[in-house]
Amino acid sequence: MSTYRAFEVTGARNFELVTREVPTPPAGHVRLRVESCGVCHSDVLAVEGLRADPAQPIVPGHEVVGVIDAVGEGVSTWHVGDRVGVGFLNGHCGECPPCRRGDFVNCASQPQTGTTTDGGYAEVLVARSSGLVRIPDGLSSVDAAPLLCAGLTTFSALRRLDARPGALVAIQGIGGLGHLGIQYAARLGFRVAAIARGREKEQLSVELGASHYIDSSAEDPGSALQKLGGADAVIATAASGSSMTPLVPGLAPRGHMVVVGVAPDPLSISTPELVLGTRTVSGSLTGSSIENEDNLDFSNRFGIRPMVETMPLAQAPEAYERMMSGQARFRVVLDMTD
């Protein structure tokens, strides 16, 4: 094909289906024929105009799986026909100070897929070779897409914990991130407490691997965690600072809360809650491309899968609205083969 379809967005929620010429990948890049693209809450950065110049069109989407059909000059480790993924981080430069120290996640010159460079709401994607992730056999493109961002985010947060096998780890928010977090935590050998509002997600949480369920609308979640002996760690996935605030007192001595949900309101912490108990609160941003390969391999071997709803590319605006409504269970994926 000499042309392909893509959804561009300008301003706030102004989607337009366009036809583009198929580009030649520049040096250090590859071109993919997109097979699937997850619709993630972080797509708001592009779709809601929360970027430097919202008047410039951009193609959203950063949970992209496809097959390489062209490689640029200097690319030697990736080949036409490889099935690969591209996450939020589009590839590190390898030259800036963070990269020289091995901190590829915080590369100072790294495009953000679907936000500062075109993403996967399209039939074709061009990406840096340093940002590519190999997709293992046995993992479908639809299932792999959400694991590239939602999966990696929770998996990376859990791997950063200094917690023993059998330690109590709480997953707050049983949604697009949390339903994967429960699966990862259980398979990493932790005792899992799921925290959500209401009882409707209790049975699902148990089926996913939770040993305990806390209804935060019926009891204080921090007190509930202390009744269980205190949480060695909390992974906070809900996009609400106010819902995270009560969790800090639920940490055991030297407990660690890792925040992965980006909230518009602040997280409030009193200094005694941190000092008296030597507790820690930190943030965690996704992971590098090789860490994402570890994530996909772990997910494939232990049967970790996202719960998804699929829609065709032609319904990308509706897919975004479905995700934003909070009614999806739990990830929406654009299936280009549909």
% of the chain residues with pLDDT over 90: 97
Q: What is the DSSP letter of 268?
A: P
1/127 Cα distance (integer angstroms): 19
State both tokens at 337.
Answer: 């083969």
Binning pLDDT at 50, 70 and 90, where does residue 1 land? confident
At 96-123, the pLDDT tens digits run 999 999 999 999 999 999 999 999 999 9
Average pLDDT over residues 208-224: 98
Burial of 200 (0-12, 13-18, 19+ CB in 10 A): exposed
Cβ atoms 143, 26 nearer than 8 A: no
Instruction: Report strand pairing: 212-215 vs 231-236.
Output: unpaired
229/211 Cα distance (integer angstroms): 14
SS3 329: coil
Average pLDDT over residues 206-232: 98
Let me know if the fold of 3-149+287-335 is the same as that of 161-283. no
pLDDT at 291 over 80: yes
Binning pLDDT at 50, 70 and 90, where does residue 258 land? very high
State both tokens at 52.
Answer: 């430097």
pLDDT at 229 over 90: yes
> Distance from CA of residue 183 to its chain's centroid?
15
| The predicted structure's pLDDT at residue 126 | 98
Cβ atoms 104, 266 nearer than 8 A: no
Average pLDDT over residues 54-67: 98
Q: CB within 8 A of 196, min separation 6: which ones?
A: 172, 173, 174, 178, 205, 213, 214, 215, 216
65/2 Cα distance (integer angstroms): 21
Question: Per-domain residue ranges for the chain?
Answer: 3-149+287-335, 161-283
3-state secondary structure 270-310: CHHHHHCCCCEEEECCCCCHHHHHHHHHHHHHHCCCCCEEE
281/250 Cα distance (integer angstroms): 12
Q: What is the mean pLDDT of the chain?
A: 97
State both tokens at 163.
Answer: 């917690």
pLDDT at 208 over 90: yes
Binning pLDDT at 50, 70 and 90, where does residue 210 land? very high
Binning pLDDT at 50, 70 and 90, where does residue 237 land? very high
State both tokens at 319.
Answer: 């897919």
Q: Side chain identity at 156, as an amino acid letter? A: S
State both tokens at 9.
Answer: 């967005």
Q: Side chain identity at 289, as an amino acid letter? A: S
At 292-333, the pLDDT tens digits run 999 999 999 999 999 999 999 999 999 999 999 999 999 999
CB atoms within 10 A of CB 106: 15
CB atoms within 10 A of CB 259: 21
H helix runs in the chain, sequence order? 44-47, 97-100, 141-146, 152-159, 178-187, 202-208, 221-227, 241-244, 271-275, 289-302, 316-325
| The predicted structure's pLDDT at residue 17 | 98
pLDDT at 231 over 80: yes
149/146 Cα distance (integer angstroms): 6
Q: Tokens 């430069």 appear where?
A: 93
At 28-57, the pLDDT tens digits run 999 999 999 999 999 999 999 999 999 999
The class (CATH top level) of 3-149+287-335 is alpha beta
Q: CB within 8 A of 187, min separation 6: which ones?
A: 209, 298, 302, 304
Phi/psi of residue 82, nearest 5 degrees: -70, 135
Average pLDDT over residues 203-228: 98
| The predicted structure's pLDDT at residue 101 | 97
Q: Is the peptide bond before 15 cis (omega within 30 degrees of 0)?
A: no
CB atoms within 10 A of CB 17: 14
The class (CATH top level) of 161-283 is alpha beta
Q: Tokens 């520049």 appear where?
A: 26
At 323-338, the pLDDT tens digits run 999 999 999 999 998 7
SS3 6: strand
Average pLDDT over residues 183-200: 97
pTM of the model: 0.96
pLDDT at 239 over 90: no
